[in-house]
Chain A
Amino acid sequence: MGTLIEEIFGRRAGRPVQAGEILLLDVDYIMSHDNTTPLAIKAFRDIGKPIHDKNRIVLHLDHAYPAPNVLAAENHKKIIEFVKEQDLPHFFHQGVCHQVMLEEGFITPGAIVIGADSHSNTYGAMGAFGAGLGSTEIGVAWVTGKCWFKVPETIRIELKGKAQPGVYAKDVMIYIAGMMGMDGGTYRSVEFGGEYIDNLPMHERIIFPNMSTEIGAKCGLIAADDVTIDYLENQTPAKGPFEKIQPVNPRYERVIEIDVATLAPQVACHPDVDNAKPLTEVEGLEVHEVYIGTCTNARYEDLEIVANMLKGKKVNPHTRVIVTPASNRIYKKALNNGLIEILMDAGCTVTGSGCGACIGRHGGILAAGERALTTMNRNFIGRMGSPLSEVYLASPATAAATALTGRITDPRKSLELIS
C-alpha cells in the first residue's frame, strides 16, 4: 500500500515500507562507466573482499570513447584489464550507458538498479528504481550486492491533456524543471503520470525520469503499463513475466497538475536547467553549434524527427550541426532506414555513439564566446567546453529548426504549424 517507490521497495524488502524508513536492499544491477569505474575499482581493491555476483555488474565505455587522448586510452585499458581479471560478463562499448541498459533488457519493472552516473534515474521509465550514486558506493555494491536507501517521500506530477503539435516531452520536462527549480525534487521520488504519460510512446517517456535528476530527485518513476511491456517484449531480450507495479492508495507529499495543452516549445537557457523560458522569448538568438545526442534525446525516433525536418534542406553553413546516435543499435537502424544519409546530405556531422560532447571531453567542444543549442539534459557553466561558452537545451525538433537557420527557431515554423 503506497506510492510507486514504496511498492517497489516493499516488494524487495518483503514487507510494506513507508517513506522515511532506511532499508538495506539487494540490488539487481550495478552500473558504471569509464568516467566512474576507476574510482570504483579503487574502492573495491581497498575493501579487499571478492565480488558478490559478477552477473549483477554492468560496465560501459562511453564517456570518452573512442579514446580522444592517451589518458583516456589508459583509463579504458585499466577497465578492460579489470573486466578480464574478474571475468565480468556484462561489458559494453556500444553507446550511451543508459540507452544500452534499456536496450539490453537489464531494466524491468520493479528492478532496483544503481549506477555511478547521475542519470541512472532514466531507468524509472520502465517502472524500475534507478538512481545515481558515487563510485565508492558502486565498489561497495560489487562486494555486498546491497545498498542502503532511505525510502523517499513522493511528489506526483499529474500531466493532463494533449500536447500541441511541435511540443514534445522535452518541452514539458524543461517547463517542469523551470517550475520546480533545481532542488525542487531533492531527496524525493518524482512520480510522473496522467493521461499525457499514458498516451506517450516509450522514447518520449524516458525523458521525464532522465531529467528528474535535474530537479534533484532521488528517482523519477513511471508505472509500467502496456507500453512498457510492449517495449520490453519487442525491443529488448528481457524475459517476462513483467509485473505492472502501480501505486496503491498512495500518500503523496505534493501533487502537481499540469495541462500540457497550454505549453509552447521551451528552452532551458544558460547556465541552469531551471532557467526555462518559452522558446519565443529567445527566438533568433545566434548559435554556433547544434548538438543532437545524449541519454536524453538521441533515440531513433528523435533522429527521425530531425531527419524529417532536414530532408532535402541544408543546415546553416556557419553552424556546426553534430548528431550522435545514443547507441550503435540506433545508429545502425538509422543507417539502414536512410536517416543518416538525409542528415549528412543536409550538412550534419554524424559521430559514433557516446557521451563525449555532453561532458566537454570530445565530439563537439565549444570555444569561448560560442553558444550551443542541444538536446542534452544539462547546461552548467563549462559543461561542453570553455567556461565562457553557453549551452541551451531544447527538443530535437527545436534543434533541427535551429540547425537550418543558425538561430534559435520555433520548430512549429519548420513544421508549418504556425505562419
Chain B
Amino acid sequence: MGKAWTFGENMNTDEIIPGRYNITIDPLELAKNVFCEVKPEYAKNVKPGDVIVGGQNFGCGSSREHAPIAIKGSQAKCIIAPSFARIFFRNCINIGLPILECPDAVADITEGDEVDVDLATGQIFNRTNGHQYQANALPDFVLKIAEAGGIVNFLKTHDIQELMS
C-alpha cells in the first residue's frame, strides 16, 4: 500500500527531470531532483511503495531514460496514467518500472489517497474511498520483459527472438 501522488496532463520529461540534472545516471542521485519544477515536495516526502498517478500523455518529450530512472530511483511502486508517451512507455518497460494504463483510476484517485496495486492482475484498489479499478492488459511480449525485470535481464537468459514466440 502506498500514497498517491497526482500530476497533470502532458507531464513532460523536462518536468520529470530537467536536462541540467542528466549529468548522472545514478538512480538515487536523479531521484533527488525528480519533479523538482512541478512538485518539489515529492522528492523529499515520497515513501517506498507510493504510487504516481498522472494525466494523459505522461512522459512526453525527450527520449531521456533519466526520467523513468529518476522515478524508479524514488522507489515509487508504479505509474498509473490514462495514456503514456510512446518512448517513455518503452523506457519504463525496459528498465522494469511498472506502468498501468487506467483512465478510471486516474479520474477517481486524489492526491494522498491510500492505494493498493496488484501488478500481476492490473487491479488497483483505493483504500481511502473503497473503489476498485482495472488497468488495461499489456501485450504478452511486454509482460515477458516486465516479468524478467526489464529487457536487460531478459536478454541475459533469452534470445531476443523469444520475445515474439
Q: Contact residues of A with B, CB < 8 Å?
A: 22, 24, 35-36, 38-39, 42-43, 46-49, 71-72, 75, 115-118, 120, 132-137, 139-140, 143-144, 146, 148, 182-183, 186-187, 216, 218, 272, 359-361, 378, 380-383, 387
Residues of A within 8 A of B68 (CB): 134
Q: How far is the CA of A46 from the CA of B155 in the complex (A)?
A: 10
Nearest Cβ on chain A to B16's Cβ, whole angstroms: 10
Residues of A within 8 A of B61 (CB): 118, 378, 380
Q: Which A residue sits closest to B162, measured CB to CB?
A: A24
Given contacts A38-B25, A183-B56, contact A136 B65 (CB under 8 A): yes
Nearest Cβ on chain B to A161's Cβ, whole angstroms: 30
Q: Which B residue sits closest to A71, measured CB to CB?
A: B23
* Proximity bits, B129-144, A CB within 8 Å = 1, else 0: 0000000000101000
**Which of B46-54, B82-90, B105-113 touches A?**
B82-90
Check A382 against B14 for contact (C-beta < 8 Å): yes
Interface residues on B, range: 35 or more
Check B14 against A383 for contact (C-beta < 8 Å): yes
Check A47 against B65 for contact (C-beta < 8 Å): no
Chosen A-B contacts, 9 in total, with CB atoms closer than 8 Å, are: A22-B139, A140-B155, A144-B155, A183-B10, A183-B83, A216-B60, A360-B19, A378-B61, A380-B14
Check B85 against A383 for contact (C-beta < 8 Å): no
* Proximity bits, B53-77, A CB within 8 Å = 1, else 0: 0001100111111101100000000
In the complex, B94 has a CB within 8 A of chain A: yes
Given contacts A24-B164, A216-B85, contact A136 B91 (CB under 8 A): yes
Beyond known contacts A49-B155, A75-B23, A143-B155: 9 more, CB 8 A cutoff: A24-B160, A35-B64, A36-B64, A39-B65, A136-B65, A137-B91, A140-B94, A182-B57, A360-B18
Residues of B within 8 A of A116 (CB): 63
Q: How far is the CA of A38 from the CA of B19 in the complex (A)?
A: 15
Nearest Cβ on chain A to B23's Cβ, whole angstroms: 5
Residues of A within 8 A of B15 (CB): 380-382
Check B19 against A133 for contact (C-beta < 8 Å): no
Nearest Cβ on chain B to A129's Cβ, whole angstroms: 14
Residues of B within 8 A of A186 (CB): 57, 83, 85-86
Nearest Cβ on chain A to B74's Cβ, whole angstroms: 17
Q: How many A-B residue pairs have CB under 8 A?
A: 127
Residues of A within 8 A of B38 (CB): 381
Residues of B within 8 A of A148 (CB): 141, 163-164
Contact of A134 among B24, B65, B141 (CB under 8 A): B65
* Proximity bits, B77-106, A CB within 8 Å = 1, else 0: 000000101110011001100000000000
Residues of A within 8 A of B19 (CB): 35, 359-361, 383
Nearest Cβ on chain B to A183's Cβ, whole angstroms: 4
Check B94 against A136 for contact (C-beta < 8 Å): yes
Q: How far is the CA of A43 from the CA of B65 in the complex (A)?
A: 12
Tell me the chain B residues, 5-49 only, with Cβ under 8 Å from chain A: 10, 12, 14-15, 18-20, 22-25, 37-38
Q: Is the interface of A mostly helix, strand, loop or mixed?
A: mixed
Q: Which B residue sits closest to A382, measured CB to CB?
A: B18
Q: Which A residue sits closest to B62, measured CB to CB?
A: A118
Residues of B within 8 A of A71 (CB): 23-24
Residues of B within 8 A of A35 (CB): 19, 22, 64
Q: Which B residue sits closest to A70, measured CB to CB?
A: B23
Check B139 against A43 for contact (C-beta < 8 Å): no
Residues of A within 8 A of B141 (CB): 22, 148
Check B139 against A39 for contact (C-beta < 8 Å): no
In order of increasing CB-CB distance, the 9 nearest A-B pairs are: A134-B91, A183-B57, A359-B19, A380-B14, A134-B65, A132-B63, A118-B63, A136-B94, A144-B160
Find the residue from B24, B56, B64 having the highest chain A CB count within 10 A. B64
Check A360 against B151 for contact (C-beta < 8 Å): no
Residues of A within 8 A of B83 (CB): 183, 186
Q: How far is the CA of A183 from the CA of B61 in the complex (A)?
A: 10
Residues of A within 8 A of B25 (CB): 38-39, 42
Q: How far is the CA of A183 from the CA of B89 in the complex (A)?
A: 14
Check A134 against B160 for contact (C-beta < 8 Å): no
Check B95 against A136 for contact (C-beta < 8 Å): yes
Residues of B within 8 A of A117 (CB): 62-63
Contact of B23 among A36, A72, A136 (CB under 8 A): A72
